[in-house]
């Protein structure tokens, strides 16, 4: 499916995920990550997440919990170090362009409502 992690990407990220040794076992982490990335890449609402990724609440809750725990930042720091072998710059005064080799993309999906009387809605002459 679109936006899913490749085996190479999953192998790099899997060891950095939090471990939950006791309690109810977590659902498939890879499926949940694919769901999170689907929402982030597509710009869709969490409620619009396809059923292939499991309940949208699971993906949303995991995303929020890991954000609060700093998991996403740690993952990015480790990936940065693997690519650059130097610490990630923390200030905007030290920008650094790096090709990480990832195929992730993002785009602005902002929508604006126009009145039917707007010039762009008038028929072409």
Q: Is residue 112 part of a domain?
A: yes
Q: Is residue 94 part of a domain?
A: yes
Number of domains making up the chain: 1
Q: Is residue 114 part of a domain?
A: yes
Q: Is residue 2 part of a domain?
A: no
Q: Is residue 1 part of a domain?
A: no
pLDDT tens digits, 68-117: 999 998 888 888 888 777 555 555 555 454 444 444 455 555 555 656 66
Q: Is residue 102 part of a domain?
A: yes
Instruction: Note whether 32 and 53 are within 8 A (CB).
Output: yes
Long-range contacts of 69-75 (CB under 8 A, 24+ apart): 69/18, 71/16, 71/17, 71/18, 74/16, 75/13, 75/16
Q: Is residue 108 part of a domain?
A: yes
pLDDT tens digits, 32-71: 999 999 999 888 999 999 999 999 999 999 999 999 999 9
Report the predicted TM-score, pTM, of the whole model to 2 decimal places: 0.65
Residue range(s) defining the domain that contains residue 63:
7-121
Q: Is residue 75 part of a domain?
A: yes
């Amino acid at each position: 499916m679109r936006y899913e992690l490749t085996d190479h990407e999953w192998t790099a990220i899997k060891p950095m995920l939090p471990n939950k040794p006791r309690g109810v076992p977590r659902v498939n982490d890879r499926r949940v990550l694919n769901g999170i990335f689907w929402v982030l890449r597509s710009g869709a609402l969490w409620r619009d997440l396809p059923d292939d990724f499991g309940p949208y609440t699971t993906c949303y809750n995991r995303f929020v919990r890991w954000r609060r725990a700093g998991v996403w930042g740690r993952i990015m720091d480790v990936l940065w170090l693997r690519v650059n072998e130097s610490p990630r710059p923390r200030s905007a005064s030290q920008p650094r362009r790096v090709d990480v080799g990832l195929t992730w993309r993002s785009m602005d999906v902002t929508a604006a409502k126009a009145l039917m009387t707007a010039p762009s809605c008038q028929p072409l002459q």
